[in-house]
Structure 1
Amino acid sequence: MQEPALLPPLIELDELARRAGPALRRRLLCEVHVGGRLLPVHAYLLGSTSPQAPAVAFVGGVHGLERIGAEVVIAYLRSLVMRLPWDETLQPQLRTMCFVFVPLLNPGGWWRGTRSNPQGVDLMRNAPVDALEPVPWPVGGQRLSSWLPWFRGPRGATMQAESAALCELIQAELFDRPVSIALDCHSGFGMSDRLWFPYAHTSHPIAHLAELHALNQLLDSALLHHRYIVEPQSRQYLTHGDLWDHLYLRSRQLPRPPVFLPLTLEMGSWLWVKKNPRQFFSRHGIFNPLIEHRQHRVLRRHLSLLDFVSRAVASHERWLPQDAHERDKHRQHALERWYRRSRA
């Protein structure tokens, strides 16, 4: 059987690893068999190795069709690597915090041009979390068949290798730290760019609602003209098997639960289709900007978000609520902003 050429993002990541040298620590999470070869799923770590340092994780390529998510993560990693030799402002940041990158979690789906992995499983429906309220079928996750989209995997089966590897990495690298944020980059929902936070399996608010509201206020003041709609995913729809719900629930079971804030960037790909309707007839065009100048514009816009998240993690002591009164104040504002509709 003829082996396929390596995927372009894997070639670029190999180049970045060589350029960065020992500063960029590469870790093999698992390998995926597809098209006659094993494709690697790597994590890349940059910065402090102290477990007490705050951390930020950037994840892309969970869905193979949503290539722009992986490209945003790789572009930000490239920016950091290229700044290593000369940017004196970056060095203090790297000494005090850790960057964790998983740029392409689903290389098999990328290669096959599918949302799911090569086993037909949607990795973002694969965690052992069942929704507590009704979900829309099949988008909320289904176990009927891998031939249908949003397949969760067989009932009672272990998690897919890619899902399990990501969860193990996040637990190992983020859970022991006092503060961490994870940003998972996707595309394909509506006309607006959205920043979702848990929960996806219930409309109830999470424990760190105050911290998320404080982060949202920081975003509004620092990126004054941003166009992100920040909200819990439950305001749009509920799902089974969300990986970030699973990880957040696991973090809450620790003896000393950390401040762990998982975010999902949902880039509004419908806007790209509206501007170029011919993309509707392309499987990749529904989820990615196909015109070069539009792709560059998307990358520029979202790289500022990733940089903001990194700086927010590094400077968390200056904006996180510091006492019970401040937390309660933020929580009340958050309930009014995000949950008033569901409580009405």
Structure 2
Amino acid sequence: MDPLTFRPWPHPPPDPAVFAPTPDAAATFDEHEELKAILRTGNAHFDTQVHAHITARGQSFPLFTASIGTQDPLAPAVGFFGGIHGLERIGTQVILHYMRALLFRLAWDELLVQQLQKVRLVFMPIVNPGGMFTLKRANPNGVDLMRNAPHRAERPVPFLAGGQTLTPRLPWYCGRPGAPMEPESAVMLQVVRDQLASRPFSLALDCHSGYGFADSIWFPYARTRRLMPHLPEMFTLMTMLEQSMPHHAYSFEPQSNQYLLHGDLWDHAYDHTPQGHVFLPMTLELGSWLWIRKNPRQLFSRHGIFNPIKAHRVKRVLRRHADLLDFLTRAAFAAPRWLPGADRRAQLSQLATAHWRPRQLP
């Protein structure tokens, strides 16, 4: 295995003040500035790339990815994505919180250093900077990126919410039929192809908010009630999560058990995984209705519908989900120890099918 390409932190660890946003003269937003501060501070550790620039209201925002860990192209990898919907800022904040913590831990955490010698972490915390800057769910072209892949659901989807091609003036717009995917969608899928699915084993977690009273982990498919081919691997991963975090509050299931939709990017990425590779994408859906129930006045704020408002609740969310991101990193590192062999897949498939038997959706 190739040695790490990053250097240990000098002692003492970096001053937390360096992570404070330092806005440029141009208009910006807090999460974008915090990401840039993390990348500046961790420039000796992160391999940072700019894949495109997105323009919104005359401002140009780079689409960043930052990677850390081994350079071995066959090593397992985990991708962390956020900000696909511009209003769902808390998902981006969860990832930034984890990136910041990793940098501080590199000063003293020898186990983390050893772990990163055998695993690659890929971060894309702000997939839709234009939407986040303009306080909109969609990108600057009015397209809902999570409904922008070219495929269509196999059965009827919820009206509008499952994706519509009528007009960008209505929410959940998929884009014009037959048109190329939006640049943000195309870049994200290219990152997945090049840095995750190209490896024998990889995981992805995409952080969202805004659905239900409980936090959920969803996995493909969203376009069909058929179960994914890698159901034994996903079932094993869920079992490991429940055994190592027995008091977690996540509902873990195929997204189709809740509703179907057109154009899901993770369905598209999963279906285009090279044969023989195992790529397990998941969506973390933070249940924002719980925050609204505790603070009903949030209903009158576009930001409050999708994010916790009170400072103590934001801190609680950031603490609560850091363990999940760390669990996925460890699971990728230890993949050879738990991935089911051919002799167990049939049995696990039966158990998983019984556990996640598709519900009869309308």
User: TM-score with structure 1 length normalisation?
Assistant: 0.96
CA distance in 1, matches of 2:335, 2:106: 23
CA contact (8 A) 1:4 1:35 kept: no
Amino acid at match of 1:79: A
Return the offset for 1:4.
4.3
Match in the other structure for 2:91: 69
Q: Following the alignment from structure 1 to structure 2, what is the Cα–Cα distance between the partners of residues 321 and 88?
A: 29
Deviation at 1:327, TM superposition (A): 1.0
Question: Aligned to 1:174, what secondary structure does the other structure show?
Answer: helix
Cα distance in structure 2, aligned partners of 1:334 and 1:150: 31
- For the Cα contact (< 8 Å) 2:218–2:282, is it kept in 1? yes
Amino acid at match of 2:105: R
Alignment of 1:140-151 (within 5 A): 140-151=162-173
Provide the residue aligned with 1:206 in structure 2. 228
Match of 2:351 among 326, 333, 340: 333
- Deviations along 1:82-127, whole A, 9 cap, x unmatched? 2122211111111101000000001110111110001000000001
Distance 2:152 2:26 in 1: 37
Letter in 1 for 2:324: L
* Aligned counterparts of 1:18 and 1:341: Cα–Cα separation in 2: 48
CA contact (8 A) 1:47 1:98 kept: yes
**How big is the shift at 1:224?**
1.1
244, 247, 250: which one pairs with 2:266? 244
Match for 1:320 among 331, 339, 355?
Answer: 339
Q: Deviations over 1:5-40 (max 9, x none)?
A: 222122212221122123101111211111222111
Q: How does 1:118-197 map to 2 (within 5 A)?
A: 118-197=140-219
Q: In 1, are the aligned partners of 2:80 and 2:122 still within 8 Å (CA)?
A: yes
Letter in 2 for 1:134: P
Q: Which residue of 2 aligns with 1:281?
A: 300
Q: What amino acid is the match of 1:91?
A: V
2:276 to 246, 257, 280: 257
1:4–1:36 contact (8 Å) kept in structure 2 = no
SS state at 1:21 partner: coil
Distance in 1 (CA, whole Å) between partners of 2:198 and 2:205 is: 18
Matched, 1:292 2:311: yes
Q: Where does residue 104 of structure 1 map in the other structure?
A: 126
1:76 to partner: Cα distance: 0.6
Aligned mates of 2:252, 2:130 — CA distance in 1:
31
Does the residue aligned with 2:290 lie in a helix, a strand or coil? helix
Q: Helix, strand or coil for the counterpart of 2:233?
A: helix
The amino acid of 2:186's aligned partner reads A
CA distance, structure 2, for counterparts of residue 340 and residue 26 of structure 1: 41
Structure 1: distance between partners of 2:26 and 2:151: 36
TM-aligned CA distance change 1:340 to 1:33, over 3 Å:
closer
Query: One-letter code of the match for 2:338?
Result: W
Partner Cα separation in structure 1 for residue 173 and residue 266 of structure 2: 17
RMSD (Å), alpha carbons = 1.4
Aligned length: 338
2-structure distance, mates of 1:226, 1:97: 25
In the alignment, is the contact (CA less than 8 A) between 2:48 and 2:66 conserved in 1?
yes
Instruction: Classify 1:340/1:118 alpha carbon distance in 2 versus 1 (closer, same or farther; 3 Å).
Output: closer
Q: CA deviation at 1:340?
A: 5.5
Q: How far is the alpha carbon of 1:257 from its aligned partner?
A: 3.0
- 2:44 matched to 1:22? yes
Rounded to whole Å, the distance in 2 between the matches of 1:64 and 1:342 is 32
The equivalent residue for 2:321 is: 302
Partner SS state of residue 43, structure 2 = helix
| Partner amino acid, structure 2, of 1:331 | S
Please list every run of 5 or more consecutive structure 2 residues that lacks an aligned counterpart in the other structure.
1-24
TM-score with structure 2 setting the length: 0.91
- Matched residue, 2:55: 33
Displacement over 2 Å in runs of 4+: 3-6, 340-343
- 1:151-180 Cα offsets, whole Å, 9 max, x none, are 000111100000000000100011221110
Amino acid at match of 2:276: P
Cα contact 2:225–2:358 (8 A) shared by 1: no
For the residues of structure 1 that align with 2:39 and 2:110, how far apart are their CA atoms?
20
